[in-house]
Amino acid sequence: MKQILMLMLAVLLLGGVPAGAEELKTRDLGEAADWFVSNPRNVKDIGDPFVLPEEGTYYVFATGGPIGFNAWLSSDLREFGKMKALKKVDWASGDYWAPEVFRVNDRYVMLFTARMRENGSLRTGIAFSDTPEGPYEDPLGRPLMDYGYATIDATMTWDDEGNPYLIYVRDCSENTVNGRQESHIYGVRLKSDLTGTEGDPVLLLKPEGDWEIRSGDTLWNEGPAVVKRDGRYTLFYSVNGYWMKEYSVSAAVSDTPLGPYIKQGNNPLLYYTEADGNVTVSGPGHNAFFTVGEELFTAYHTHTYPQAPSGNRQLCVDRAGFHADGTTYINGPTLAPQLRPLSEIGKMNLAPEAACAEDPSDLLTDGDFCLREGSSPWVWQGQEVNYVWPEGVTAELLMIYPANGQSVSGKVLVNGVMEAAFGLKAGQAPGTAAMLLTEPTKMTDLKITFDAESGIGEILVIGTR
């Protein structure tokens, strides 16, 4: 990690200090190495990751073997150990896929996919445990439901009255539409005890649009994940074949769990990256969400070997969020070091607390790093940013995310007297920010002047009140 941070320091173009100004005391970024973590994580040869934070531990569940499921445990989302969470169930012969775990009334509920022993068709199962790591036990001795067709990739959400709903995929292996095999996403209400379903399933999403039909005669809308916010349901889903670099994440929005869902105009949200004609991140998809403090994160997988995509995949984690209009974004895929959850390192982003003269300043504090093409509506354009904290704050780290990974350079002026230069050349690892690490500095005002008008995704001022 320190070596990576030193490489990032090397791309900072620290210049001289003009006469009459005091030099802002900066530190080697390696001194803050513990604040950062990078993708991919050390959970590999998996797929479909799901992260459950519980009492100081992160539990990762994923597709990872022919019999049952493992849980990978971590205290910091950096290094993970492994243990068995669910052994095989009697009704299944193998293909244990896509586990998701929810805490419901002091029990832990695992939804999963497995292949039926009697006919080889895929079905959705459910298991329960008193602890997040398991062991999980199947109380039914059969699939959760059986509609006479293959189902995979189940997840849950709840309405305003607390009623549970199952969101799942009708798998393309047993779903032919106009001569093509297609995976469609359905929803159905669950019984309150989660042992079965009520009513008829409702079709929510199917493959449509140019980006979702890159896989020929077999098409996918799969890997659903639901985030409920301000009374609306955002349904994230993955498209194209999981072995393709074009496997990617999109989103659709509804006012009710069972739709109708409207696909976002800025889809796809998460997709492969390239540099100099080579794929650097391949097939980012099948994501799930979790929160740490007030921050929203998404876990997803990418191909371990981006130049040779296959079923060998690895865990990645990045931040996500929503714009003021409800449109969602994902700050990924990244390979450059990103801040660990701020609550874990005892820091906060001070920028949203400042008075800012720039208009519209919310583009600099909406959480969207604007790492990809298509994010232009949320990019701030300008040459100068002024922050004022009337009560003063203690800042240590400045992170500037240029939109779409472009070059950026300029200088900062702290409290009108302390100055330093910064810069970042284009072509760095996805998600690289221009950074200045300082001694803890009491700030009442911060002026950032860019050498030319620049497109900026986000500015983070990290420290404490």
Exposure letters 118-147 (e unless 16+ CB within 10 A, then b): eeebbbbbbbbbeebbbebebeeebbbbeb
φ/ψ of residue 29, rounded to 5: -60, -25
Distances 208 to 174, 181, 454 between C-alpha atoms, Å: 19, 13, 35
| Residues 362, 376: Cα–Cα separation, whole Å | 14
Interior angle at CA 286, CA 104 and CA 49, nearest 5: 55
User: Which 3 state secondary structure label does DSSP give 162?
Assistant: coil
φ/ψ of residue 427, rounded to 5: 95, 10
φ/ψ of residue 411, rounded to 5: -145, 160
Contact by Cβ (8 Å): 96, 112: yes
Q: What is the pLDDT along the chain (465 residues), one digit of tens a residue?
A: 433 443 343 334 334 444 556 888 889 999 999 999 999 999 999 999 999 999 999 999 999 778 899 999 999 998 899 888 988 999 999 999 999 999 999 999 999 999 999 999 999 999 999 999 999 999 999 999 999 999 999 999 999 999 999 999 999 999 999 999 999 999 999 999 999 999 999 999 999 989 999 999 999 999 999 999 999 999 999 999 999 999 999 999 999 999 999 999 999 999 999 998 899 999 999 999 999 999 999 999 999 999 999 999 999 999 999 999 999 999 999 999 999 999 999 999 999 999 887 767 789 999 999 998 878 899 999 999 999 999 999 999 999 999 999 999 999 999 999 999 999 999 999 999 999 999 999 999 999 999 999 999 999 999 999
| CA end-to-end distance (rounded Å), the chain | 28
Q: Which pair of structure tokens corresponds to residue 391?
A: 């009560």
pTM: 0.94
The single-letter code of the amino acid at 101 is V
Q: Give DSSP secondary structure letters for 303-363.
A: ESSTTS-SS-EEEEEEEEEE-TTS-EEE-----S-EEPPHHHHT-EE-GGGSEE-STTGGG
Long-range (24+ apart) CB contacts under 8 A made by 1-9 are 1/33, 1/36, 1/37, 1/38, 1/337, 2/30, 2/33, 4/36, 4/38, 4/336, 4/337, 5/29, 5/30, 5/32, 5/33, 5/36, 5/337, 6/30, 8/336, 8/337, 8/428, 8/432, 8/435, 9/435
Domains and CATH numbers, the chain: 2-36+344-464 (2.60.120.260), 39-333 (2.115.10.20)
Distances 84 to 62, 69, 70, 100, 443 between C-alpha atoms, Å: 12, 6, 4, 15, 49
